[in-house]
Chain A
């Protein structure tokens, strides 16, 4: 079987701050040469202190505005087709198989969760979902995630609590079935029960779609539910150590201090 692959090669990224239109755009280098190779069905955990650039890495792969790749590459191979993502727009990347669950999912007034999801599903699959089965699939998945049906007709993430937003992200993950899923602190802000519900959802989606996953987290707790094949320590814009799941356990006791000096 041919494996799909997501490679990050010597990636350097600046954040571009052009708040003041007439000033010269301020650029600050955040990622300083990141290397990573994720095969389908693998789980890579990235752990590291706040401000080390983990979300920047996630945003750069997904093509978020405000980030500029200054050198290096992001290369995606799906079904034997290899392409660089760097010059693709965010929607092109998503249709190529990338999914980002944001650390703080954006609220969007003017579109309901269900309309959003149906439009996204149509865009990703290239055909509209079967009307007969669509609503059932949506509601069944929501039920598994312990989301009330009423969320489907609410404006996307507007007034959702932190935990509800995270569930809504995993709902999208389950429905859209990407090739690679980047989950940016999906565990943070969830209580024990919600964490289990959300992790069950991630595991269901992964069993179903066999995607490769990049799991960004602060805590080792999520790794009890979702077993990582690799653990990477991230500090100051780069991966400073990699290992297997035992590395996470070590970090739990030692902390990140040793890496930030």
Chain B
């Protein structure tokens, strides 16, 4: 698994026949950050899986851009990014571009970006794009959703004795769980992500 951890980056990968790329993007630090990834699936049967986890705190800007070009036939791609936002002026943007070229028959692709707003004053922009130049494909889909952990939900947890920060940590951990599972992160990596997540929530006020 290739990793881009807590830093801005611009990467371009070209995959040959049956080549597999697994990529993890983590943005759990406090600096503004911009990660730009481009993958060309040039070889028949190549496969890319990209996972992203990010957490924007007050005033922090996190930008992600993912471009996957399906050029050869029988390639697969899967993109899953999840982000949490907490605090006024926390901003994230996510742009996904999956282009299925005219020779890319039997393509199978899915791109997903989900955001969780933990407070007022945070904003998540999410734009998954899909361009299809051949109809002869297995699947091509995209999903984008921004949810909110609202006052009523926070109250419900608090009304059972759970303090506000613990409640937020539980919810964000649950939200990130899908990535932890699908990206098969080991215990050390999980621990590190959860540590940073707790730090970010503890930091507030």
Contacts and interface: CB of A to CB of B under 8 A. Distances in A.
A89 B156 contact: no
Contacts of B160: 91, 94, 99, 116, 120, 123-124, 172, 176
Give the secondary structure class of A's interface: mixed
Given A63-B159, A66-B151, A100-B159, A111 B164 contact: no
Contacts of B156: 102, 105-106, 108, 156
Contact of B174 (A64, A94, A105, A110): A110
Contacts of A176: 160-161
Nearest to A155: B174
Give the secondary structure class of B's interface: helix
B159 A111 contact: no
A17 interface: no
A111 B155 contact: no
Interface residues of B, number: 25
Most buried by B among A93, A110, A116: A110
A98 B152 CA distance: 17
Contacts of A90: 155, 158-159
B123 to A, nearest CB: 14
B162 A89 contact: no
A62 interface: yes
A105 B171 CA distance: 17
Given A89-B164, A116-B157, A106 B170 contact: no
Given A90-B155, A123-B160, A110 B172 contact: yes
Given A109-B147, A111-B170, A64 B175 contact: no
Interface residues of A, number: 33
Nearest to B150: A106
A108 B171 contact: yes
Nearest to B170: A111
B47 to A, nearest CB: 30
Contact of A91 (B158, B171, B172, B177): B158
B166 A119 contact: yes
B171 A89 contact: no
A64 B174 CA distance: 24
A65 B119 CA distance: 14
B163 interface: yes
A166 B127 CA distance: 39
B153 interface: yes
Interface in A183-226: none
Interface string A112-130: 1001100110011000000
17 contacts: A63-B155, A63-B159, A64-B159, A89-B163, A91-B159, A91-B161, A91-B164, A94-B158, A94-B159, A99-B160, A106-B155, A106-B156, A107-B153, A108-B171, A110-B149, A116-B170, A120-B157
Interface of B: 116, 147, 149, 151-164, 166, 170-175, 177
Rank and list the top 10 A-B pairs by shortest CB-CB distance, nearest first. Answer: A110-B174, A123-B161, A120-B160, A90-B158, A94-B161, A106-B156, A91-B158, A124-B161, A110-B171, A65-B151
